[in-house]
Amino acid sequence: VSYMSEKIDLKNVTFIIPIRIEHENRLENLEVVIDYLDHHFDTNIMVFESSPQSMLMHHPCIKKVKYIWEFSDDETFHRTKILNNMLEEVETEFVANYDTDVLFPVQSYIDTVEELKKGKAIVFPYLGPFHEVNRKFIPEIREKKEVNWIPLNECGINHPNSVGGAIFFNTKIYKSLGGECEPFFSWGAEDNFRVNMFQIFGYEIVRVGTVLYHLEHWRGKNSTEKNPHYYKNMQIFYDTAYMTKEQMRTFIDT
């Protein structure tokens, strides 16, 4: 199917993308993602850079998005807080909590938004498999503006049933549940907590689409278990995993 004729209307969605550019891979991945989304969709993209200095201020890809830079010389990337800062600015009916490095076939985005329109609160644009895409494929992704040609047998699988990467929400419901849980710092378990929280409040976790295509990148300690907050993050997840709705509400409110 060719979507070249005109952009698909996703004006009711805001993609919120938190970033810290620790390596040129990250910058290139962001360019690819913005270019891809902007090529296919008439939508809203917000990029929030938290870093000691802005790497994006004068970058051409930023012209297509709402860009926010915040000074931070903290080694830890406080992703949950940054997402909440962006969430406050979101005025669209739906919002996508979106990583710098992920792409999906065009149809997956359309199907995801259709589910949200039916009243679903949380929808994943893929069925679970999280594939690692070698950087050698990036020039062709840029050119074709599509991903479903990528040979999955040449892509490692990071996770068979991931709950991260990109999650689409009904904005009002996401905000009513407090958005992201800020006691989670850096990387680890916040994705599992989020899914568990929605389930505790009685919302169905919906999946559509195929697989997640993750553009390979250099990994600093904010992207691995080596970050100093990892075990504390896991502990929060375990402590909240079996809460009742009332207990979870109290936890969120405090």
% the chain with pLDDT above 70 = 94
Determine the average pLDDT of the residues in 219-234.
Answer: 68
How high does pLDDT run on average in the chain?
92
pLDDT tens per residue, range 85-96: 999 999 999 999
Per-residue pLDDT tens over the stretch 144-184: 999 999 999 999 998 899 999 999 999 999 999 999 999 88
Residue 223: band (very low, low, confident or very high) from pLDDT cuts 50, 70, 90: low
Q: Are 79 and 191 in contact (CB under 8 A)?
A: no
Cα distance between residue 134 and residue 29, in whole Å:
12
pLDDT in tens, 68-81: 998 888 877 888 99
Question: Would you say the C-alpha torsion 119, 237, 219, 158 has a positive or negative sign?
Answer: negative
The whole-number pLDDT of residue 52 equals 87
Check pLDDT > 60 for residue 4. no
The predicted structure's pLDDT at residue 11:
98
The average pLDDT across 131-151 equals 96
Identify the bridge partners of residue 212 per DSSP, sorted by sequence position: 130
pLDDT at 220: 59
Q: Who's near 47: CB < 8 A, 6+ residues apart?
A: 17, 19, 30, 34, 56, 62, 65, 66, 67, 68
Q: How far is it, in rounded angstroms, from Cα 159 to Cα 141? A: 22
pTM of structure: 0.92
In the predicted model, is pLDDT for residue 201 greater than 80? Answer: yes
- 58, burial (CB in 10 Å: exposed 0-12, middle 13-18, buried 19+): exposed
Contact (Cβ atoms closer than 8 angstroms) between residue 121 and residue 96: no
Phi-psi domain of 189 (left: phi exceeds 0; alpha: psi -120 through 50; beta: other): left
Stronger pLDDT, 222 or 126, i.e. the higher one: 126
Residue 191 has pLDDT above 60, yes or no: yes
The tens digit of pLDDT for each residue in 230-246 reads: 888 899 999 999 999 99
